[in-house]
Amino acid sequence: MSINRQGYKNTHKKKKKRKRILLWFIMPILLLIIGATAYGGFLYNKAESVMNKSYKPIERDTKKANTNVKLENTSILFIGVDDSEKRKSSGSSRSDALMLATFNKEDKSIKLLSIPRDSYVHIPEKDIYTKITHAHAYGGVKLTLETVEELLDVPVDYYVKMNFNAFIDVINALDGVKVDVPFTFSEQDSKDHAKAITLQKGVQELNGEEALAFARTRKIDSDIQRGMRQQQIVKAILAKGASIKSITNYTDVMEAVGKNMSTDLTFDQMKSFLSYIQAGSGLNVESLSLKGEDSYINRIYYYKLDDAALEETKTKLKNHLNGKATDK
């Protein structure tokens, strides 16, 4: 049984294990920026058309009935799924990344919680304890939402599901992005071909596959530096998206997002979040993490969450969604 919905984000990465990153978060926001630049015009209508095609509501007990509500203190679960041919052939896809975002409209603040994919949690409906990534394989978006709600004891109002292709296709539609690569390295591509991509140190334009390799590699530097590289890619996407002039580029970006995304947010609801984007440097974004430790059960690796820290996170999320002051 799911509960009323609101959201949050956190970040933690498991040592010596690969983990996909959630840069999908920026893609629907980019779509909004593009639509807003031509409000009432061709691009606005195109953005609306793309969003309507991506609209896939999920039947849930607590689903909001009014699809025209204005922005309120609310939450969105971003679900990143790697739908490569290799993974499709092995059965139902698991979620590679989960990010819960809670929004507080009064102080224009966002809290972001990345949930480690190997977190040992209870999966409702199946009534088993296993990795949270399995929830999507067992019951798709619906069971993923219910699992996150039970884990964090806060409501999740909406979801946005995207796959790797969105990240790659958007950057290709922008004709690449410019980044400063701090070291020379080789990395696998999106189809898991080992050392398929080699990047040289220095400032350069990266295509979608190269940018993904740059953002995901963790062989050379630390997780903190990896996070900085991810931020660099996000900023590069936004900068390029805001500067392009070609209608073709804009429409290609929209198509890239639309064909790789599903959501239960309507276009009108997504427009409500423009006030956050327009807040610019005045926007307060806090990243939260779920503390825990490596654990093995029956020789299978899990990320065991710290109960006390989890309770603190739940309280912080509830306060944020209820409009109460929280520690920065």
- Tell me the three state secondary structure of residue 318: helix
71 and 193 belong to one structural domain: no
**Mean of the pLDDT values across residues 12-28?**
41
Full residue range of the structural domain in which residue 239 is found: 176-243
Within 8 A by CB and 6+ apart from 112, the residues are: 8, 9, 10, 11, 25, 99, 100, 101, 285, 286, 287, 288
162 and 180 belong to one structural domain: no
52 and 150 belong to one structural domain: yes
CATH of the domain at 201: 3.40.630.190
Rounded distance between C-alpha atoms, residue 132 and residue 137, angstroms: 10
6 in a structural domain: no
194 in a structural domain: yes
213 in a structural domain: yes
CATH of the domain at 157: 3.30.420.590
Rounded to the nearest integer, the mean pLDDT of the chain is: 77
Mean pLDDT: which of 115-119, 195-199, 230-234 is highest?
195-199
Rounded distance between C-alpha atoms, residue 210 and residue 165, angstroms: 13
Rounded distance between C-alpha atoms, residue 123 and residue 153, angstroms: 14
223 in a structural domain: yes
**Mean of the pLDDT values across residues 18-36?**
49
145 and 181 belong to one structural domain: no
Residue 192 pLDDT greater than 70, yes or no: yes
Sorting pLDDT into bands at 50, 70 and 90, what band is 300? Answer: very high
DSSP-derived secondary structure for 142-202: HHHHHHHHHHHTS---EEEEEEHHHHHHHHHHTT-EEEEE-S-EEE--TT--TT-EEE-SE
**Mean of the pLDDT values across residues 32-45?**
59
Least confident of 68-77, 124-133, 218-227, 307-316: 218-227
Residue 112 pLDDT greater than 50, yes or no: yes
111 and 33 belong to one structural domain: yes
Residue 41 pLDDT greater than 90, yes or no: no
**Of 238, 189, 183, nearest in space to 210 by CA:** 189
Note the pLDDT tens digit of each residue in 258-269.
888 899 988 888
Residue 100 pLDDT greater than 70, yes or no: yes
Half-sphere exposure for 25 (CA within 13 Å, toward CB): 26
Strands 74-81 and 158-163 come out as parallel
- Tell me the three state secondary structure of residue 313: helix
| pLDDT at 52 (0 to 100) | 86
Rounded distance between C-alpha atoms, residue 95 and residue 83, angstroms: 10
Note the pLDDT tens digit of each residue in 202-211.
999 999 999 8
Kindly tell me the burial class for residue 206, based on how many C-beta atoms sit within 10 Å of its own C-beta (0-12, 13-18, 19 or more): buried
Domains in the chain, number: 2
